Structure 1
Amino acid sequence: MRRLHAAVAALLLVGVTAGSAAADARAQRPPQAAAAAVQVPAGVTAGAAVFDRQTGTFTEQLNTSARFRSASVVKLLLALDFLWNRGPDYTVPAADRALLEKMLRGSDDDAADHYWSTYGGSAIINRMVSRLGLSDTAPPPTEYAGYWGYTALSARDTVTIYRYLLDSAPGPVRDFVMDNLRKSTRCASDHFDQHFGIAGAFEKPWAVKQGWSGSSYPEGTCGAGGAAATASSAPAPGPAAAASVDLTRPALHSTGTVGAGDRYVVAVLTLHPVGTSYGKAYTDIGRLTRSLNVPGAARPTGWWYGTWSDHVNVRPNPSTANARITQLPAGVEVLIGCQKRGEEVEVPPYTNDWWAYLPQYGGWISNIYVSSPDNRIPDVKDC
């Protein structure tokens, strides 16, 4: 274990904890054909479904009825409940439009608190279960009635929610919700990077509503500035609640649509071992989602590599002189499009003047933080 010395830390604005730069080196080209089965990383519990709206069939199903705590995916139901029976000519009031946009694009928790407390809390879930014919969805346990993120949800119910939204909801409701999901921001309101899963596995067009929850996710550092935040959590659940839906293990969910005309509805719900870092969970749900059978969906090209160190800055150019665009979740796997020489970076005993371009971030990181044994990553093309 090495530590970044103070001078370099000040120069690069990265965290002090570090791992071996050569450890756990992985480079895999993006799949050119869909995998035969869902690849679930070790230790991960998952439910997944892919529904092709064009053929009316599922192309992927894994534990589709398994219940997970919804985390922020329940915000879809909060929005639909508020918009229910508003009529084809309904115009969302400006105050609600602002709240709903923050909730759907940036997964804002304060907005969710408002709709939960104002419109009946658990009664919202009961209404939407009846309206949409959901099979596995249920309100939070009685002792946690105030925690909307403890709503139970399954992959198949998530598909049902999106199918209603796309195929049955009034046009203005469909357009309002889906347009906001298409404008999902990389940095959520709580400074967590929310472009994992679907947003990383497929090229646009996509629309996503993500969810994350767990004490293992102590710090959100996404964005060019601002204070770090802690992932939403709640008091430790009692044994009765835990027996119904796991409220303990860190959750990370990716849901939405992929392809022109929102052809595919994709739902990936995951739980990770207690103590799993956000970067590790982010990487694992990314690998799982990339393995899904989504025929014809456009996948990003490049090379997937692990990173090391905390708070690695993504820069607009291959130089530390530029203000950062954002910071990576610690240890996350990233897609590298190409590499070139830039400013020399020093993390004793290493120096490196090669930088990797991350197309999904629109910026650069020093190769010194890429888990590769060489300064120049062997199989990545030059820019």
Structure 2
Amino acid sequence: MKLRLLAAAAALLLIGGAAGSAAADTPAGQPVQPGAASVVVPAGVSAGVAVFDRQTGTFTEQLNSSTGFRSASVVKLLLALDYLWNRGPDYTVPAADRAWLEPMLRSSNDDAANNYWSDNGGRAIITRMVSRLGLKDTAPPPTGYEGYWGYTALSARDTVTIYRYLLDSAPGPVRDFVMGNLRQSTRCASDKFDQYFGIAGAFTKPWAVKQGWAGSSYEKGTCGPPRTAAATDTASPAPAAADVDLTRPALHSTGTVGAGDRSIVAVFTLHPVGTSYGKAYTDIGRLTRSLNVPGAARPAGWWYGTWSDHVNVRPNPNTGNSPITQLPAGVEVLVGCQARGEEVNVPPYTNEWWAYLPQYNGWISNIYINSPDNKMPDVKDC
């Protein structure tokens, strides 16, 4: 028997259906497959979504695709492109510049973005890229917040335009540099947040992602080996009102999915004030898994909620080795199988069963899984 009464409430993360019209947000010249929209938006979440199938030249999903969201770190795509724009003919990136560009794209390093933003014109970077790429909904940060690159307004359809430029029009070295780094996106971001949500959690590789997150209610990042030093709080101040919502916690997942980068996916979400990172992580995962994404392969297993703060993921079904990482508090995880291992005690409860999490290549005690029994009834044995 294990702790279930408290966990039961966390397990009941009810999803509210919200289907969008496939045709309502269609940009001129960009057809949508009739009846393809199937976006399931969790209750309380505001979303902007676009999925573009490069093979057929059609959108398979659109929901509020022209709505502007504060970009958070997704704007780093534009910062990288601005840097690369006039570096022809060979587009060589010096080692000193790689040292900030690669962490910015792979691990969402904020210091690199801060330096480039301040040294290269700030808002003017966005103005240049809007003109170069023909973006329709993108705008620089509002007056009074010029220094906050994450306050750049960006829509799902403009994000598709950015990726289409990268894949179809950019010089080969530019495409290879940016997309090559996005394919090497790290689970642990520079600020210790787990950034394998959305696309990276819903689909198996090949994929390439640039994620974004911002919210004062998000707890400190705990990804990677636990550490005792406090993480740096990089949350931006939130003014009371603006054309683009700067108040609610944001979590965005963008990138490409499938062989040959077949589908471009852009998912922008805002969550109720006070939402934890684990809850937002779970909700964008559920939304992304509902999408019609041609060419995508979905991981095998069973999705289960977890409870407790920062559950340790271990290399084996025991506590004898140091943790690989820690889960965002209360996040939903994919369970591949389960096995007996070391008995874990959370008085007055005990459990000897462990869940294997294939996306982490690690194990957590079943005592932290939201399930009615010590052994999950529908999950196979390892």
Do the structures match in fold with TM over 0.5? yes
Query: 5 Å matches for 1:101-250?
Result: 101-226=102-227, 227-229=229-231, 232-239=234-241, 242=242, 244-250=243-249
Does residue 345 of the first structure (1) align with residue 331 of the second (2)?
A: no
Whole-angstrom distance in 1 between the partners of 2:112 and 2:233: 16
- Decide whether aligned partners of structure 1 residues 183 and 154 sit closer, same or farther in structure 2, where only a CA change above 3 A counts: same
Query: 5 Å matches for 1:270-285?
Result: 270-285=269-284
How far is the alpha carbon of 1:318 from its aligned partner? Answer: 0.4
Conservation of the 8 A alpha-carbon contact between 2:240 and 2:247: no
Q: Deviations over 1:135-154 (max 9, x none)?
A: 00000011000000000000
Q: What amino acid sits opposite 1:205 in the alignment?
A: P
Q: Deviations over 1:221-258 (max 9, x none)?
A: 0011333435632223143xx2x000000000000000
Q: Deviations over 1:182-221 (max 9, x none)?
A: 0000000000000000000001000000000010113110
Give the structure 2 partner of residue 306 of structure 1.
305
Conservation of the 8 A alpha-carbon contact between 2:225 and 2:323: yes
Give the structure 1 partner of residue 23 of structure 2.
none
Whole-angstrom distance in 2 between the partners of 1:86 and 1:337: 46
How far is the alpha carbon of 1:20 from its aligned partner? Answer: 1.9
Give the structure 1 partner of residue 38 of structure 2.
37
- Decide whether aligned partners of structure 1 residues 26 and 295 sit closer, same or farther in structure 2, where only a CA change above 3 A counts: farther
Matched residue of 2:55: which SS? coil
Whole-angstrom distance in 2 between the partners of 1:230 and 1:40: 31
Q: Deviations over 1:300-339 (max 9, x none)?
A: 0100000000010000000111100000000000000000
Query: 5 Å matches for 1:330-341?
Result: 330-341=329-340
Q: What amino acid sits opposite 1:377 in the alignment?
A: M
How far is the alpha carbon of 1:346 from its aligned partner? Answer: 0.3
Conservation of the 8 A alpha-carbon contact between 2:208 and 2:257: yes
Q: What amino acid sits opposite 2:237 in the alignment?
A: P
Give the structure 2 partner of residue 63 of structure 1.
64
Q: What amino acid sits opposite 2:125 in the alignment?
A: I
Matched residue of 1:142: which SS? coil
Conservation of the 8 A alpha-carbon contact between 2:226 and 2:326: no
TM-score (ref. length: structure 2) = 0.91
Conservation of the 8 A alpha-carbon contact between 1:26 and 1:371: no
Whole-angstrom distance in 2 between the partners of 1:93 and 1:179: 16
Q: Deviations over 1:86-134 (max 9, x none)?
A: 1141210101111000000000000000110111100000000000000
How far is the alpha carbon of 1:85 from its aligned partner? Answer: 2.1
Whole-angstrom distance in 2 between the partners of 1:173 and 1:281: 33
The gaps in structure 2 that reach 5 residues or longer are 14-34
- Decide whether aligned partners of structure 1 residues 39 and 231 sit closer, same or farther in structure 2, where only a CA change above 3 A counts: farther
Matched residue of 2:144: which SS? helix
Does residue 20 of the first structure (1) align with residue 21 of the second (2)?
A: no
Whole-angstrom distance in 1 between the partners of 2:8 and 2:350: 13
Q: What amino acid sits opposite 1:115 in the alignment?
A: Y
Whole-angstrom distance in 2 between the partners of 1:204 and 1:322: 28
Q: What amino acid sits opposite 1:312 in the alignment?
A: V
TM-score (ref. length: structure 1) = 0.91
Matched residue of 1:20: which SS? helix
Conservation of the 8 A alpha-carbon contact between 1:105 and 1:184: yes
Identity %: 82
Conservation of the 8 A alpha-carbon contact between 2:217 and 2:274: yes
Q: What amino acid sits opposite 2:215 in the alignment?
A: G
- Decide whether aligned partners of structure 1 residues 36 and 126 sit closer, same or farther in structure 2, where only a CA change above 3 A counts: closer
Conservation of the 8 A alpha-carbon contact between 2:302 and 2:336: yes
Matched residue of 2:260: which SS? helix
Whole-angstrom distance in 1 between the partners of 2:150 and 2:118: 13
Whole-angstrom distance in 2 between the partners of 1:19 and 1:334: 19
Conservation of the 8 A alpha-carbon contact between 1:307 and 1:370: yes
Conservation of the 8 A alpha-carbon contact between 2:262 and 2:295: no
Conservation of the 8 A alpha-carbon contact between 1:220 and 1:228: no
Conservation of the 8 A alpha-carbon contact between 1:46 and 1:271: yes
Give the structure 2 partner of residue 251 of structure 1.
250
- Decide whether aligned partners of structure 1 residues 126 and 35 sit closer, same or farther in structure 2, where only a CA change above 3 A counts: closer
Conservation of the 8 A alpha-carbon contact between 2:263 and 2:294: no
Whole-angstrom distance in 2 between the partners of 1:300 and 1:382: 17
Conservation of the 8 A alpha-carbon contact between 1:203 and 1:300: yes
The gaps in structure 1 that reach 5 residues or longer are 4-17, 28-33
Whole-angstrom distance in 1 between the partners of 2:273 and 2:233: 14
